Amino acid sequence: MSADQTEAADICCASCGIAELDDIKLMECDACDLVHYCSDICQREHQPQHEAACKERAAELRDEILFRQPESTHLGDCPICFLPLQLDLEKSSMQSCCSKVVCKGCSYADYLRQLEERLGRVCPFCRHPTPTTQEEANKNKMKRVEKNDPVAIREIGKKHYHKGGYDTAFEYWTKAAELGNASAHYNLSHLYRKGEGVEKDEKKGWYHLEEAAIAGHPDARYNLACHETRIKRFDRAVKHFIIAANLGHDESIQQLKKCYKNGDVSKDDFAAALRAHQAAVDATKSPQREAAKDNA
């Protein structure tokens, strides 16, 4: 028997004890990585005695994902200058023609170029003519929706929400979330926790908030931290605040200052968070963005 076969033979069905060999393949428990089964029947029979350990391990695995530091915020980078987009949504704009979010620095620089060369107004990214009416912009968004663009789908959902169409907003945001849009997860968490457009479900609300946080949404992360603070799980709250602060979230760094004064975070961890927060903020700065700010 080879080394691989010996290792495989050490994996046994947790219910009947049969070993995994060439002609017998075992499957992991659906929720955890602790045990294996040879069939659905064995899994069902073993479930009562495995349930407690399974839930504990599943929670550990979830936390490993939840408390992993994202490489960037859910906003990502400007597609033109490739600098991180600022968390202040007023400092960038979504183009209805291509759904790209472009920083105001690049938009302003392109505007000056068009003035100098006496060109017509076009999207700074895809060069599609800039819509002159809201109706035209809405048509552009619907074209993107038809192409399953999650950003456009989220935006149409937002439009319905603000008009009181919670049911329709829920449908659009659910689809955008399925396509991986972090802001749609964030919005769904609000709907579930408030019971708007869907039956109230706190568990699903927190799930979608966690999904948004995992994808780099600092406000979602901050809300999770505040929730953990309310139920006095300060160690988890501090972890959330640090992750959000590392992404440049101002409110989180302010909360960390309070945590430091209360002795809930160490001096070294607080100092590291301060440095990371400043680095994240500095990474979003550029001369073009400063010029746009000065000429707003």
Give dist(CA 56, CA 74) in Å, integer.
29
With 0-12 / 13-18 / 19 or more C-beta atoms within 10 angstroms meaning exposed / middle / buried, residue 133 is exposed
Instruction: Answer whether residue 174 shows pLDDT above 70.
Output: yes
Q: What percent of the chain has pLDDT over 90?
A: 92
- Quick check: 57 and 32 in contact, CB under 8 A? yes
For 267-287, write each residue's pLDDT tens digit.
Answer: 999 999 999 999 999 999 999
Instruction: Answer whether residue 142 shows pLDDT above 60.
Output: yes
pTM: 0.90
Give dist(CA 114, CA 173) in Å, integer.
36
For 87-124, write each residue's pLDDT tens digit.
Answer: 999 999 999 999 999 999 999 999 999 999 999 999 99
72: Cβ contacts below 8 Å, ≥ 6 apart:
84, 216, 247
Instruction: Answer whether residue 22 shows pLDDT above 90.
Output: no
- Quick check: 168 and 137 in contact, CB under 8 A? no
Q: What is the 3-state secondary structure (H, E, C) of 251-262?
A: HHHHHHHHHHHC
Give dist(CA 93, CA 223) in Å, integer.
25
Write out the two tokens for 212: 């948004």
For 230-248, write each residue's pLDDT tens digit.
Answer: 999 999 999 999 999 999 9
